[in-house]
Amino acid sequence: MSRIILPLIGLALLAIVPLIVTDYGLGLLIGAATYVTLASAWALFSGQTHYISLATVAFYGTGAYTVAVLNETLGYGAVLLCAALIGGTIALVVGLATLRLRGVYFVIFSFGLAELVRQLITWYEVNVTGTLGRYIFLDITTRQIYWQMLGLAAITIALTAWIHRSRLGMALRVIGDDETVAAHSGINLARVKLLAFVLSAVILTLAGAITSPRYVYVEPSIVFNPTISFLTVIMALLGGANRLWGPTLGAVPLFLIFEWLSSNFPDSYPILLGLLFIGVVFLVPNGLIASTERLLGKAKGARG
Amino acid sequence: MLSTTLILGLVLGGTYALLALGLTLQYGIARIMNLAYGEFTLIAAFLVVASFQHLGVPPLVALPFVTIAGYGFGWLLYQVMMRPLVARSGSSGRLEVDSILATFGLLFLIQGVLLVGFGANFTSISYLDRGIDVLGVSVALNRLIAFAICVLAGGALVVALQKTRWGLIMRAVALTPGSAPLVGIDVNRVARQGFAIGSALAATAGASISMYQTFSATGGVVFTMKALVIVIMGGVGNVPGALAAGLALGLLETFVATAIDPGLTLAATFAIFLLVLLWRPQGLFGART
Amino acid sequence: MSFLEIDRAVKQFGGLRAVSDVSFTLEKGEVVGLLGPNGSGKTTLINLVSGALPATSGDIRLDGLRLTGLSRDRIARAGVARTFQLVRTLPSLSLVENVMITAVFGRHAHWGAAARRVALGALEMVGLSDRAGVAAADLTYIDQKRLELARALAAEPEILLLDEWLAGLNPTELAEGVALIRTLHQGGLTILMVEHIIDAVRALCPRVVVMNSGELIADAPTDIALADPMVVSAYLGGEVDA
């Protein structure tokens, strides 16, 4: 029971925090909630299957840009729905083309996807609509953005927990270990991978859509910032991408560290990021949770 | 008009082919999917430009030094960074994911260093840029030189791989890294060499790019992307395939840029990539299984 | 109509015809050995039946259902289970999870307690039930082979394809393995087994089919086939395996 009750209590506490913090604090909370969502959604697909997606910002940016384009013509709910549909469709097309092949093709494609979407939107805006750069005027308070993002994070983690216990989760884990065995055991590889990838992409797109009012002014080069993809991957890896709470555990501290680094060392920020990333790959390849468990296990073994 | 596109496309394709050669060696022989490859070329490009602007060293003189430095850089990087990953993964197939992640980190690290060192602005130099008449089309001399470098380096590599004992060993490791040790091949040494030569080629490509193209510290991803697409088109580890695919991509891009819109060249690259993946994922020149 | 029908199966790799017009049938409950020197196309044939490779031409039917052209997972769900020549276990999963997957994703689509029961039953058969919770990465080679067989059994298959499952076992383990396969046979399972160990083949298979250079050169009771001059020269002409 405590597996459900404790997170719910935590969620309730997090929901009332904005009533007491400053605007700056609230900004940090939104950022942390956003990265918890992004890292968890990323891990939902990539953590289990080891298909490393470098395309987080392609979906995040698509979500933000959809809001920027549609916010004056449609109601907020309808805009979110459109964003989810668009993100899901892109994921479906990309997945259909690349997920039936070896993982490396998928990685390469996802690597360039954000740049591709960015250039296509830029080209379209410049040549067809003639408006590069858009404003988002929505009647949404910062607190509401926080609550929405907190809700999305909670949904993502709950969904992940459910998937971990479902046939889908089991299929994903088998695929991550050995696709040949998976196929000969009766798992429909393409369908399982596609389903998880699209689910993950829809959440990433919604995260971009929900935070977009914070930007006020949106332009492809702002919302398709590759650093977002990069941060998402490193956060999920640090905590442990195949664990339920791994991405959260990586996202919160790293987000705070990155905030501090980017305001105090703006010039050397990318260097520090790169070093940190390489450090994670070499030192905690299976994530902090797994490393801690191993250390504890060893300590236990030494005592016993 | 058509002949202009054809010649300019071939010249651009030459650089792309050179760019892709290094990547196909790194992935084909060393099994490292190097996402920081474009940043390798940028380091070389910035070094050539800096030594030209500040020390007055002509890029053509700097080029051999940059190439040798590229080899050393790749050698060192393989030894320090990639070798431990190879050792850790053993035969578990984990190397692919690990190398992707490690070089993804390296990408940001190098980009950060370049930003600190050279700033975020676009850089270019004017060097040997007078027009030369080629079959009635005026082509800048620096582009022709870049093309000549590609033909020389690429041709030498093809001959070396096909005709020498060294090339045979390289190809053996590329085909079956598992059984190469059975015939006395030191796979680690060969992989390191493959990675280092790949870096040297990246540096050569970077130096030739710096002579005629505008570039910036954040543009490495696009180079990597194009090189990757060419490698897939040509078939992984297939050197002649990469050369042909590189030329083809150069032609395609020039055609799209002149006939449709320069803003859509990357989209065209991706479209080709998608077509190849859907139609012949083993590469245009690979054997069908 | 036979239970498994292989009708003029062909697999072409470029200029190499790895499987050339091979036809034979298995009746339900039969245990048949698939013999032949190295490179004769045995594993390729197993791959054609299990869908790992698409056949260039020909027909393969299981109980009337055409398998050729179906994907690997569809064929698995149709009741074909297999082991691999080079053992494939799932290192990050526990033993019971390793075995459970075929019960979950196979044709009976068990879930929860039922899937667990099937998996534990299969582990019991191969003698691994006391270690159900252990990670598969920690197993010895012979135990990995056992685990793989348990995984195939948990699919509750119509037909079991064994690709040199007995290879690499020591004499004691070999005797255990032979006894295990005999038990499966007595339980009514249909088995097609690629095998080099002739003693085991004699002990288990009343009938064998023999391949050489992609072609079927014998399909006869085991004693007769093994005395056939064509079969003998195929083995002696090629490399002889222990």
Contact flag C14-B287 (C-beta cutoff 8 Å): yes
For B228-274, how does the pLDDT look when each residue is reduced to its tens digit (9 = 90+)? 999 988 887 788 888 889 999 999 999 988 888 887 888 888 888 88
Give every CB contact of residue B253 below 8 A, 6+ residues apart in sequence. Answer: B9, B12, B265, B268, B269
**Residue ranges covered by each domain of chain A:** 2-226
For chain A, give the mean pLDDT: 91
pLDDT at A303 over 60: no
Judged by CB atoms closer than 8 Å, whether chains meet at A230 and B104 is answered as: yes
Stretch B213-217: mean pLDDT: 88
Q: How close, in Å, is residue B156 to chain C by CA atoms?
A: 30
d(CA C148, nearest CA chain B) in Å: 18
Q: Residues of chain A with pLDDT > 90: what percent?
A: 59
- Nearest CB among A177, A182, A183 relative to C92 is that of A177
**Do B116 and A271 make contact, defined as CB atoms within 8 angstroms?**
yes
Which of A174, A179, A185, A192 would you mutate first to test chain C, the one with the most C CBs within 10 A? Answer: A185
Q: What is the rounded distance in angstroms from the CA atom of residue A213 to the CA atom of residue A71? A: 10
pLDDT at A301: 57
The answer to whether the CB atoms of B105 and A277 lie below 8 A apart is: yes
Q: Are strands C4-13 and C159-163 parallel, antiparallel or unpaired?
A: unpaired
Which residues in A lie closer than 8 A to residue B35 (C-beta atoms)? 54, 111
What is the fold, at CATH topology level, of the domain defined by B2-279? ABC transporter involved in vitamin B12 uptake, BtuC (1.10.3470)
| Chain A residues closer than 8 Å to C112 by CB | none
Is there a contact between C13 and B92 if contact means CB atoms under 8 Å apart?
Answer: no
Q: Is residue C91 less than 8 Å (CB to CB) from chain A? A: yes
C43-87 pLDDT, tens digit per residue, is: 999 999 999 999 999 999 999 999 999 999 999 999 999 999 888
Which residue in this structure is represented by tokens 């942390």?
A32
Distance of CA C120 to the CA centre of its chain: 21
**In contact, A49 and A193? CB cutoff 8 Å:** yes
Q: Which residue of B has its CA nearest to C53?
A: B289
In chain A, what residues touch B84 (CB-CB under 8 Å)? 282
A100/C contact by beta carbon, under 8 A? no
Of A176, A178, A187, the CB nearest to C105: A187
For A131-163, the pLDDT digits (tens) are: 888 998 888 999 999 999 999 999 999 999 999
Q: Which of C72, C77, C102, C162 to mutate to test the interface with A (most CBs of A within 10 A)?
A: C72
- Full-model pTM: 0.90
> What confidence score (pLDDT) does residue A299 get?
66
- Locate tokens 């892709």: which residue? B20
The mean per-residue pLDDT over the stretch B208-212 comes to: 88
Extents of the domains making up chain B: 2-279
B117-131 residue pLDDT tens: 988 888 888 777 777
- Our CA-based measurement puts residue C90 at a distance from the nearest CA of chain B, in whole angstroms, of 11
Query: C77 is written with which tokens?
Result: 């769900």
Region of poorest pLDDT, from B87-91, B170-174, C42-46, C114-118: B87-91
Q: For B6-31, what is the mean pLDDT?
A: 89
Q: Report the residue of chain C nearest B289, measured CA to CA.
A: C13
Instruction: Look at residue A191 in the predicted model and tell me its pLDDT.
Output: 94
Q: Say how far apart CA B246 and CA B231 lie, in whole Å.
A: 8
- What are residue C206's phi and psi, to 5 degrees? -70, -25
- With contact defined as 3+ CB pairs under 8 Å, the chains touching A are B, C
The beta-carbon neighbor of C73 closest among A170, A177, A187 is: A187
B268 touches chain A (CB under 8 A): no
Per-residue model confidence as pLDDT tens digits over A90-121? 999 999 888 877 778 888 888 888 888 988 89
A263-287 average pLDDT score: 88
- What is the per-residue pLDDT for B1? 66
pLDDT band for position A86 (50/70/90)?
A: very high
Share of chain B above pLDDT 90, in %: 32
Q: What is the DSSP letter of C216?
A: E
Structure tokens at A239: 């905590």
Q: Domain C1-79+159-169+192-241: give its CATH architecture.
A: 3-Layer(aba) Sandwich (3.40)
E strand segments, C83-224: 159-163, 190-194, 207-212, 215-221
Q: Is C14 on the interface with B (CB under 8 A)?
A: yes
Domain locations in chain C as residue ranges:
1-79+159-169+192-241, 85-157
Mean pLDDT for the stretch of residues B18-34 = 90
Does position A31 have pLDDT exceeding 70, yes or no? yes
Length of chain A: 304
Angle at the Cα of C177 (from C175 to C181), degrees rounded to 5?
120
- A99, A43 in Cβ contact below 8 A? no
- State which residue of chain C sits closest to B92, comparing Cα positions: C91
**Does the distance separating the beta carbons of A186 and C73 come in below 8 Å?**
yes
Q: Which residues of chain C have pLDDT under 70?
A: 237-242
Give the C-alpha distances (Å, rounded to integers) separating A98 from A188, B90, B199, B207, B275.
15, 27, 28, 33, 11
Q: How far is C234 from chain A (nearest CA, A)?
A: 32
- Compute the nearest-CA separation of A117 from chain B (Å): 9
- Per cent of chain B over pLDDT 70 is 97
Residue from the list A171, A176, A178 with its beta carbon closest to the beta carbon of C105 = A171
Query: For position B267, what pLDDT does the model report?
Result: 84
DSSP string, C13-60: ETTEEEEEEEEEEE-TT-EEEEE-STTSSHHHHHHHHHTSS--SEEEE
Contacts (Cβ under 8 Å, ≥6 apart) of C52 = A180, A184, C46, C72
CB < 8 Å to B273, chain A: 108-109
Distance CA B211, CA B124 (A): 8
Whether the Cβ atoms of residue C185 and residue C191 lie closer than 8 Å to each other: yes
State how far the alpha carbon of C51 is from the alpha carbons of B278, C54, C161, in Å.
Answer: 21, 6, 12
- B286 pLDDT band (50/70/90 cuts)? low
